[in-house]
Amino acid sequence: MNPLYQNGLTIKSLRAYFAPYFAEMTRPTADNFFFLLLAIISIQGIQSIRFLYTWFLKRINASRHLNSYYYLLSEGKMSRSLLNQVTVRIALSCIPKECSNYPIFLIIDDTLQPKYGTHFEEYQLMFDHACHNGSNYLKGHCFVGLVISVPVEVEGKLRYLSVPVGYRLRSKNENKLELAANMVEQAIQAFPKETKAILLCDSWYPKGAIRMLVSSDSQLELIANVRVDTALYDLPPAPTGKRGRPAKKGSVLNYQTDFELHTQIGDYMVGTRKVITNLFPDPVYATVTTYNSDSASSYRIFISTIMPEDILLNDHELEILCPELPEADRNRLLPYCLYGFRWAIEVVFYEQKTFWSFGKYMVRTKNGIESYVNFLAIAYSCVQLLPFKQEKYAHLRGESSQVKKQLIGMAIQQEVFFYTFVLSIENRINSLALIKAFEQWIEKKHNFL
C-alpha cells in the first residue's frame, strides 16, 4: 500500500470513504481517480487540470504524467451511473434512525454554463430565461443535474443535507426530460426496496419521460410546479346506474374561482383540493397560490401525486418539518411546504459554480467535460457527507461546504507536505533537501492564502 494512505490520517479517512467508488475500477484507474479527488478538495481555486497537476498531483507522484489524468477524464473506463448510485447509497446511510420517518427528496433541474471558445464539444447557443449576461441567449453548455436531499441531525435538530448525485451534459439532439428520467431511474435503483423518494421539479419536467417514470415506479412520487394552463378536472361523479361507461373526470375547474384561497402564508393566499389531470391517471393533490387575485399572471399551480394523509408524520414531526405553516392547516398544506425543498438544487448550483470551479473545465470532449463535473459532484458530496459517516469529523456537521472543503483541504496539504518531506530525507540526507521542501511549502501557502 502507498505510504501516503497509511501515514496521513485525513487522506487515510478519505481513502476509506471513497473505497466504494473503486469497486469496478482497475488499481491504476482508482489511484488516479483518488488523487484527482484529493486535488479538487485541497485546491481552493481550480483553473484547469494542468493547474491541479502542477500544484498538487505532480508532487504526490511525479511518475504519473499529465496525460494520464486527461485520459482518465476522456477515456477512463468508469460507469458514471454506478458512481452516482454509490453517492446515493452513502447519502442514505447518513440518515439516523430518529429521522427515518421523514421524506427523502430527489431534485432535478438544469443549469447553463457559459463558455468562450467554439472548440468544446456540444457548444451551442441556448435560450436563457434568466438573462445571466443581459441577453436572452447564452453560448455554452447545458447540464442536467440531480440532487438528493436527506434528513440528518445537527446539534439535536432536524436538517436536510443536499448533495449532488451527478450531472449530464445535454447534446443538441438529446431531450432534457429523457436525460433527467434516466438519472432519476438509476438513482432509484440504489434505494432499498421499501424506501420511497419524492421527486421535486419545476414546471418544465412533469411531462414526457418524467411523467411516465413516476407513473410506472412505485418507489417514486412527484411534487412539482405546473403551468397555469394545465387542465384541472373535478373528481369523477358517483355512478348514476345508467347504461354506458361512467365518467372518468368531473367538470373542468377554474383555478381562479374553484379553489378556496382562504389560507394566508406570508404574502400568498393558498387553496387546495384533489383533482384529475391529463398528466396522471389517478387523482393528484393540487395547490393554487396567488399574490394578487386580480392578476392572472400571479397564480401558480402545484401538484402532488402523494396525498397529505399518505405522508406518515405525527403532529410533532409536522411542526419540525413545516414550522411556518398554520397549525390547523399543516397536514393539508404539507405538499406545498415540501415543494420548498426544491430550492436546495439552486444552492448546490450556486456553490459549485462560485466556490468549486464548476465552469473551469479545459477539456474539449463531451465525455471529459461530464467526467470533470461529476468528479466535482463527488468531491462536494464527500465534504458534506464525511462528517456524518466518520465520527471524528462530527464537529464539522454544522459548517458550510466551503468551510469543510478549506479545513479538509488544509489537512491534506499538510500531510502531502510531510509525505514529500520524508521522501526527500530518505533520498538525500542533506540540508539542501530540507530547504527545498520548506521553500515549496512556503510557496504553496503564499499562493493559496
pLDDT tens, residue by residue, 114-157: 888 788 988 888 888 777 667 778 888 999 999 999 999 998 89
The whole-number pLDDT of residue 246 equals 81
**What sign does the dihedral 413-414-415-419 (CA atoms) show?**
positive
CA angle 185, 321, 330 (to 5 degrees): 105
How far is 151 from 296, CA to CA, in rounded Å? Answer: 37
Domain range summary for the chain, segments of one domain joined by +:
3-73+365-448, 80-355
Answer whether residue 289 shows pLDDT above 90.
Answer: yes
What top-level class would CATH report for the domain 80-355? alpha beta
The whole-number pLDDT of residue 298 equals 87
Q: Which amino acid is at 206?
A: P
**DSSP label at 8?**
-
Report which secondary-structure segment, H or E, holds 230: none
What does DSSP say about strands 299-304 and 232-233: parallel, antiparallel, or unpaired?
unpaired
Report which secondary-structure segment, H or E, holds 247: none
Burial grade of 287 (CB within 10 A; 0-12, 13-18, 19 or more): buried
The whole-number pLDDT of residue 444 equals 55
- 11-15, 125-129, 313-317, 419-423: which is most confident: 11-15
How far is 449 from 444, CA to CA, in rounded Å? Answer: 9
Cell of 172: 443538441
How far is 262 from 189, CA to CA, in rounded Å? Answer: 41
Encode pLDDT of 349-399 as tens digits. Answer: 999 999 999 988 888 899 999 999 999 999 999 999 999 999 999 999 999
